[in-house]
Chains A and B, each alone.
Chain A
């Protein structure tokens, strides 16, 4: 591994991975635990999310308010969130405050109070979040898209439903904590102004004697059909598409990113040029890539005034389908320089690096060295991207729309 990247997996299965970044005073951490929403029992959807909010409301010797005050006094900007596989606790502040912050988070994840009287407020916030989602059309649409793009539980939203949230008891939450907040497969990634020896020692003391493994097996349900429409009275029709792609672990991953880059990497890319610049149909139009452990998707999104939405969808499908016909060297050169630049920008941000370290370790069990990523980017060619599109065609889309009226979608799209 490169000189500035360190890792150690403790006997309990927790991995500490760290990167020293020069010329910075901050340090960021990303702590992931195998406690994601894919493990939510069907009648208790949303429980992982509730739990991630509850663990910070008092832990170890600190009450909820004392804990928040302590972290504020450390100047720590922080967040809790839940993805499909993991609960994630992130924080960033001055490097000198990292270990004191981690000491608090050790209590948060290992010894949370999970008090009775905090469940209703946290549940109320979760219910408010669901209501607020209805007021946010692009986000609402994406929830619908994922429900159709992946089978349950991968297609489930971490928020749960009003029904399932209302059914959750504090005993459910405590049991879920005991079952899922376990060190095996957990990752603590740190980047910035860090001293490895002190960090390893400190983390060993805080987490070394933690034991146990969560059940991370998944039982898949059916995938709904590939068409969805939500009727809403909005000014702008929302359109989202997805199609299968290769996951992060696949050697073709970079070619998939290359394809997305040609479509959407900058303002000279195909979607922006053809759909926004030339026809003025959209303000927002883009493509992106999203990966899970064993599968992934290419996504496309556009927001269009209602009477232009059909044309927008037609052009989106046209451009996605056209990619396999050819890609120019100039397009690939632009993608390469953009990806290389993004890589450097990521090195400038301690929190971006902490997230990347955690993500690499979660999917690959190692950290990809800077030079390895750079070499893969530089090796992209038009032929590789076209070959990727041959092997994994951009078709058989899930199409989800939100607007006053559904759109015509070709049966073979």
Chain B
């Protein structure tokens, strides 16, 4: 087995998957915190904090942080989701110690007031950028409507108002609350010396004070099942998104959900492709599956001309209703499986491609799952599983939002 795990006394967990033949190594600090863990007055703090992590520590200024990454040729970045904040880098194996040094250092950021103000401007400019993207605006609206008061509806970016109002001390308090070692997993994939990694991480992170960061508001939701049309003259195309309840990360049905979404919404080849894209009715039509802790969602997206938007909406409803009633065929299941297996194999050929897979298997299920385990799990999905999935998470009762020139659409 190429897997290793180790837990420090303060609760920080290390997970490694070795590929001796790999030419690079990927490393990530996965913090189990995101938009769903924010109080209303903290809206956007997880993401703003993600930025501030790069702005310096006791040992390093912001410039020195970036210099130290660039001096080892690191391909590095970070992201914030509804429930995770991840700092990751891929490097050549000989530079892993330096990358561990920088990442471990910045995970205890100074959050200096003189860096806070300029970075707030960057966040506001990022918010402005996304306001110009109809897909993003739609995503935020639909999530908020679907989830309602459920914390998974919290916006990752926050709003211009909430970010403007946020203080450095509020961010520091959030950091102390959420960035505790027991809430962080350090994951490494590719070519590395495990003992060396454990030694370095223990040395740099072993002194972090222990603590707990429980997560509340975890639970399933059917979603609001509401329908909203948002007219705007800002865009030419009509953008529609539907959301439906789907299996959470804990559920063994998540593999079936992935395959079902592929059957219905893969581009090209899914049912929506043939119904909407092939005849030129929609510019884009796809379905995806996102699993979170305690709740999952399907997304169905359609983009097209306003003139065909009603027809597209009706078609989406009809396709989902038909699959709900009759399930999918054995052939469709096999085709989807072929595609998904092929993508998994490809992704696994790069350490960077394995990093998230290994991390989330650990974070969500406390499992060590290699590529072959994932392939086996997808191979094991049967039509009976798909029927069970459809019965427990029906494709009816979507929350739908339409954004674009149209004033009106029929819900039916």
A residues apposed to B, CB below 8 Å: 22-26, 64-65, 68-69, 72-77, 92-94, 120-125, 128-129, 131-132, 134-137, 233-236, 265-269, 272-273, 276-284, 303-305, 308, 330, 333-334, 337-342, 344-345, 347-351
A25–B335 touching, CB < 8 Å: no
Knowing A135-B237, A267-B69, say if A122 contacts B280 (CB, 8 Å): yes
In whole angstroms, what is the CA distance A235 to B90 when docked?
A: 34
- From residue A242, how far is it (CB to closest CB) to chain B in Å? 21
Q: How far, in Å, is B102 (CB) from chain A's closest CB? A: 12
The digit string for B337-372, where 1 denotes a CB below 8 A from any CB of A, is 011011101100111100000000000000000000
Q: Chain B interface (Cβ within 8 Å of chain A)?
A: 21-24, 54, 62-63, 66-67, 69-76, 90-92, 117-122, 124-126, 128-129, 131-134, 234-237, 268-269, 274, 277-283, 303-305, 334-335, 338-339, 341-343, 345-346, 349-352
* A266 in contact with B283 given A236-B129, A303-B125 (CB within 8 Å): no
User: Whose C-beta in chain B lies nearest to the C-beta of A25?
Assistant: B345
> In the docked arrangement, what's the CA distance between A93 and B307, Å?
38
In the complex, which residues of chain B have a beta carbon less than 8 angstroms from the beta carbon of A305?
A: 124-125, 128
Given A65-B274, A349-B349, decide whether A333 and B235 contact each other with a Cβ distance below 8 A: no
Report how far A334 CA is from B63 CA in the complex, Å: 14
Q: Given that A128-B305, A132-B237, A344-B23 are contacting pairs, would A350 and B349 also be in contact in the complex, using a CB cutoff of 8 Å?
A: yes
- The 10 lowest CB-CB distance pairs between A and B, nearest first, are A124-B280, A75-B342, A280-B121, A341-B73, A121-B280, A337-B73, A266-B70, A268-B66, A75-B338, A280-B118
Q: Smallest CB–CB gap between B336 and chain A, Å?
A: 8
**When the two chains form the complex, which single residue of A74, A135, A136, A268 contacts B338, counting CB atoms closer than 8 Å?**
A74
Q: Contacts A131-B305, A280-B118, A283-B125; is A268 near B23 (CB within 8 Å)? A: no
User: Once the chains bind, are A128 and B304 in contact (CB under 8 Å)?
Assistant: yes
B342 touches A76 (CB 8 A): yes
| A-B contact sample (6 more), CB < 8 A, given A72-B269, A266-B74, A350-B346 | A73-B335, A265-B70, A266-B70, A268-B63, A273-B66, A334-B67
Q: Which residues of chain B are within 8 angstroms of A349 by Cβ–Cβ distance?
A: 349-350
Q: Is the CB of A233 within 8 A of B342?
A: no
Residues from chain B with Cβ under 8 Å of A75 in the complex: 338-339, 341-343
CB of A3, distance to nearest CB on chain B (Å): 17
Residue in B22, B125, B283, B341 whose beta carbon sits within 8 Å of that of A129 in the complex: B283
Bound state CA distance, A270 and B343, in angstroms? 37
Report the nearest A residue to B23, measured CB to CB.
A344
CB-based contact A73/B334 at 8 Å: yes
**Structural contact, A123 and B280, CB atoms closer than 8 A:** yes
A136 closest partner in B (C-beta): B133
B70-A72 in contact (CB<8A): no
Residues of B within 8 A of A342 (CB): 73, 75
Are A348 and B23 within 8 A (Cβ)?
A: yes
A-B contact pairs, 12 of them (CB 8 A): A122-B280, A129-B283, A235-B132, A236-B128, A236-B129, A267-B70, A279-B118, A280-B120, A330-B71, A337-B70, A337-B72, A342-B73
| Contact status of A72 and B339, CB under 8 A, knowing A236-B129, A334-B71 | yes
Please indicate the chain B residues that have their CB under 8 angstroms from the CB of A72 in the complex: 269, 335, 338-339
**Which of B234, B343, B349 has the most A CB atoms < 10 Å from its CB?**
B349
Q: Report Cα–Cα, A280/B131, bound state, in Å.
A: 18
Interface contact tally, CB-CB below 8 A: 180
Report whether B24 and A348 are in contact in the complex, using a CB–CB cutoff of 8 Å.
yes
Which single residue of chain A is at the shortest CB-CB distance from B336?
A: A72
Q: How far is the CB of B321 from chain A (nearest CB, A)?
A: 22
- Min C-beta distance of A39 to chain B, whole Å: 24
Give chain A nearest CB distance to B342 CB in angstroms.
3
Complex interface: chain A residues within 8 A of B274 (CB): 65
B349 in contact with A24 (CB, 8 Å)? yes
Q: In the bound complex, how far is the Cα of B209 from the Cα of A217, in angstroms?
A: 69
Contacts of A334 in B (CB 8 A): 67, 70-71, 73
Q: How far is the CA of A280 from the CA of B63 in the complex (A)?
A: 14
For B62, the chain A residues whose CB sits under 8 A away are: 277
A283: chain B residues at CB < 8 Å are: 122, 125-126, 129
CA distance A368 to B251 in the complex (A): 49
Known: A69-B335, A276-B122. A94 touches B342 (CB 8 A): yes
Q: Given A121-B280, A122-B280, A345-B24, are A338 and B126 neighbors across the interface (CB < 8 Å)?
A: no
Q: For residue B124, which residues in chain A have a CB less than 8 angstroms away from its CB?
A: 305
Taking a contact as CB atoms under 8 Å apart, the answer to whether B277 and A282 are in contact is: no
CB pair B342 A93 closer than 8 Å: yes
| B342/A344 in contact, CB under 8 A | no
Q: Is the CB of B122 within 8 A of A120?
A: no
Q: Which residues of B contact A123 (CB under 8 A)?
A: 280
Contact check, A266 vs B279: say whether CB atoms are below 8 A apart. Answer: no
User: What is the distance, in angstroms, from A265's C-beta to the closest C-beta of chain B?
Assistant: 7
> Are B132 and A268 closer than 8 Å at their CB atoms?
no
A77, A124, A281: the one contacting B339 at CB < 8 Å is A77
Q: Given the known inter-chain contacts A69-B335, A77-B343, A93-B342, please indicate yes or no for A267 contacting B23, CB distance below 8 A.
A: no
- Provide the residues of chain B in CB contact with A304, threshold 8 Å: 125
| Residue from A135, A273, A340 with most neighbouring chain B CB atoms (10 Å) | A135
| Residues of B close to A347: CB separation below 8 A | 23
Give the shortest distance, in Å, between B359 (CB) and chain A (any CB).
Answer: 19
Which of B66, B118, B132, B342 is A267 in contact with, Cβ under 8 Å?
B66
Instruction: Provide the residues of chain B in CB contact with A266, threshold 8 Å.
Output: 66, 69-70, 74
Chain A nearest CB: distance from B402 CB in Å? 14
The answer to whether A280 and B125 touch across the interface, beta carbons within 8 angstroms, is yes
Task: Choose among B133, B235, B277 the residue that contacts A125 (Cβ–Cβ < 8 A).
Answer: B277
The reply to whether A128 and B237 form a contact with Cβ atoms under 8 Å apart is yes
**Chain A residue with Cβ nearest B127:** A235
CB distance from A359 to the nearest CB of B (A): 20
Instruction: For the complex formed, measure the closest distance between the CB of B310 and the CB atoms of chain A, giving whole angstroms.
Output: 16
CB <8 Å contact, B90 and A345: yes
Q: Once the chains bind, are B278 and A121 in contact (CB under 8 Å)?
A: yes
Known contacts A72-B338, A124-B281, A236-B129; decide if A26 and B54 are in contact (CB<8 Å). Answer: no
Known: A236-B129, A266-B69, A268-B67. A132 touches B283 (CB 8 A): yes
Contacts of B117 in A (CB 8 A): 280
The winner among A124, A339, A340 for most chain B CB atoms within 10 A is A124
Shortest distance from the beta carbon of B94 to any chain A beta carbon, whole Å: 11
For B304, what are the chain A residues with a Cβ–Cβ distance below 8 Å? 128
Instruction: Determine whether the beta carbon of A137 is less than 8 Å from that of B132.
Output: yes
Cβ-defined contact, B305 with A64, below 8 A: no
**Cα-based distance from A281 to B277 in the complex (angstroms):** 39
For B70, what are the chain A residues with a Cβ–Cβ distance below 8 Å? Answer: 265-269, 334, 337-338
- Pair A281/B282 contact, Cβ less than 8 Å: no
Which residues of A sit under 8 angstroms from B67, Cβ to Cβ?
268, 330, 334
Q: Residue on B with the closest CB to A280? A: B121
Asked if residues B71 and A337 are in contact (CB atoms below 8 Å), the reply is yes
Given contacts A68-B269, A348-B350, contact A121 B234 (CB under 8 A): no
Given A128-B282, A266-B70, A303-B129, A22–B21 Cβ distance below 8 Å? Answer: yes
Enumerate chain B residues within 8 angstroms of A267, measured Cβ to Cβ. Answer: 54, 66, 69-70, 76
Are A333 and B71 within 8 A (Cβ)? Answer: yes
A365 to B375, CA, bound (A): 40
Known A-B contacts A267-B66, A337-B73, A341-B73; A77 and B23 likewise in contact (beta carbons under 8 Å): no
